[in-house]
Amino acid sequence: MPDYYNHPRWPSPRARLVARKLDLDVVSRWPLTRVKRMTHAEALDLLRHRAKKATVEEFLAMPQQEAWIALGCSYQPSWSRQPIAYNPLYGVRRW
């Protein structure tokens, strides 16, 4: 697998933090059990699977806004026809 640690949109800590924030590292809900040490490659694979892409390269080629929407990080305001994406690390900002 190629080295994706310095990817411009998904650098090493961001992919792991987003996977944890979206609870993709949860092995079982009761009792709550998480993956102890998730690597960057494992986090990218979990994000790829959540976005329903065949390969990690396809997921990394997605623009950032499309990636957030594919990961389920979007909301539909009443005044808009299109979903608005947000970064799950910062939450939904509605002003």
For residue 25, the enclosing domain spans 12-85
Cα atoms found within 13 Å of the Cα of residue 53, Cβ hemisphere only: 18
- Structural domain count of the chain: 1
Residue 67 lies in a domain: yes
pLDDT tens-place string over residues 52-82: 999 999 999 999 999 999 999 999 888 989 9
Phi, psi of 85 (to 5 degrees): -85, 150
pLDDT tens-place string over residues 20-35: 999 999 988 899 888 8
Residue 2 lies in a domain: no
Residue 43 lies in a domain: yes
pTM of the model: 0.89
Residue 21 lies in a domain: yes
Residue 28 lies in a domain: yes
